[in-house]
Amino acid sequence: MARVGATTAVAGGTEAVFVMTVGNVGPDAATDVTIVDNVGSGSSLSKIVCTAANGATCPTTLGPSMTVPALPAGGTLTFDVTVRLATGANGAITNTMQANVDNDADRTDNSATAFLQAFTGRSELSVTGTGPVDVAAGTTATFTMQVTNLGPDPAERVRLINTVGGNLTLTAIRCTASSGSTCPSVLGPAMDVLNFPVGGLLTFQIDATVGNATQGTITNSLNARVTTGVPSETVGLGVGSAYTNNVSTTASGPTGPITAGSQVVFTTTVTNNGPGPARNVQLTHTLSSGLVAAGSISCSASAGTACPASMSSSVVVSLIPAGGTLTFSVPATISSGVDANVGVTVKAVTAGDFFPGDNASTATFRARP
């Protein structure tokens, strides 16, 4: 009887195959051969596959105990015995096969044992994360998540599960590998890292769209689990913040009719109704046809808001806090010969505005020659 075990170390928690061969060297056929397979401690039998040669016939039923009605002289049966190693297995793992038949003149070779070496890696993972601060609702938030193998052994296989928090929608994942590690072949909410060395580092950039009207904390979590060797699991959290606002405008002016050539002043306001700040607000004042600017636009501010350092028809206001208001005076002259409705339009555009329908306002009056 011959036997073959694995030639390389096999990781605990995985499967290995022993190759066991039963043969009849003759001179006569053997009848009612009983074959018993025993897996050693630290493993369990998964399946047995049989291949017959030289006139032999495999057992009808394959398992720990099998019967072969007839095994001709020169016939051989080869059994691939698949075993699953116990999680955490280390050291020698054996499989023993015995063949018994009446009238066997030499029973010294009726049993054979194959060996393999089990190895269970022990690795501890670390996951850390950071999140963006003050991301406008409706835009993209990018989290940085890092996974490191602290050892003492390499991890053969690591399963990563990324989960974006509420009010976030995952849009993209990018990976950078260093210190001998390799990024997953497929990037997504579930990823597999193969052969993660000690000291290996994987850096993931997680892009997620922030839901409309999101205000406050936003999160992304990354779970890392060693699935071969000694199981271990850890999770890291990236924490950031998002803001939303509702910027509204109003416009008022004189009530016409007003004679062409006259000078008029419009009043406009820009208010942030909150709940969060409005940043980098693009503000424009547009005079209609029949009006020309009659000097500089002036500004007054309240509730912690600051007027732009210099005024023009188009400016950027860096910050309007929640509850803040800017009030503008817009002087204009009615062009000669105008006989139409004229006016001014104020428009404010900013990221994170959950209700842009009140961002523009127009004030008009009747001009006459």
Both 263 and 238 in one domain: the answer is: no
Both 255 and 354 in one domain: the answer is: yes
Q: Is 353 left (phi over 0), alpha (psi -120 to 50) or beta?
A: beta
Both 229 and 332 in one domain: the answer is: no
Both 13 and 53 in one domain: the answer is: yes
Question: What is the per-residue pLDDT across 224-282, written as a single tens digit (0 to 9) for each?
Answer: 999 876 778 999 999 999 999 999 999 999 998 999 999 999 999 999 999 999 999 99
pLDDT band at 90 (very low <50, low <70, confident <90, very high): confident
**pLDDT attached to residue 230:** 72
Q: Is 123:234 a contact under the CB 8 Å cutoff?
A: no
User: What CATH number is associated with residue 42?
Assistant: 2.60.40.740
Q: Domain boundary at 79, 101, 119, which?
A: 119
Judged by DSSP in three states, 356 sits in helix
Both 259 and 301 in one domain: the answer is: yes
Q: Is the pLDDT of residue 2 over 60?
A: no
Both 93 and 161 in one domain: the answer is: no
Both 362 and 278 in one domain: the answer is: yes
**pLDDT attached to residue 101:** 87
Q: Is 101:28 a contact under the CB 8 Å cutoff?
A: no
In 3D, which of 276, 299, 297 has the Cα closest to residue 286? 297
**pLDDT attached to residue 54:** 95
**pLDDT attached to residue 263:** 96
Question: What is the per-residue pLDDT across 125-159, written as a single tens digit (0 to 9) for each?
Answer: 999 999 999 999 999 999 999 999 998 889 989 99
Q: Domain boundary at 98, 119, 140, which?
A: 119
Burial of 86 (0-12, 13-18, 19+ CB in 10 A): middle
pLDDT band at 342 (very low <50, low <70, confident <90, very high): very high
Both 77 and 153 in one domain: the answer is: no
Q: Is 12:52 a contact under the CB 8 Å cutoff?
A: no
Total domain count, the chain: 3
pLDDT band at 4 (very low <50, low <70, confident <90, very high): low
Question: What is the per-residue pLDDT across 97-122, written as a single tens digit (0 to 9) for each?
Answer: 999 988 777 777 888 999 988 877 67
Both 191 and 228 in one domain: the answer is: yes
**pLDDT attached to residue 119:** 75
Q: Is the pLDDT of residue 43 over 70?
A: yes
Q: Domain boundary at 243, 273, 290, which?
A: 243
**pLDDT attached to residue 122:** 77
**pLDDT attached to residue 110:** 85
Both 89 and 6 in one domain: the answer is: yes
Question: What is the per-residue pLDDT across 13-25, written as a single tens digit (0 to 9) for each?
Answer: 788 999 999 998 8
Q: Is 335:350 a contact under the CB 8 Å cutoff?
A: no
For residue 269, the enclosing domain spans 247-368
**pLDDT attached to residue 3:** 52
**pLDDT attached to residue 75:** 93
Both 183 and 289 in one domain: the answer is: no
Say how far apart CA 346 and CA 328 lie, in whole Å. 10
Both 65 and 169 in one domain: the answer is: no
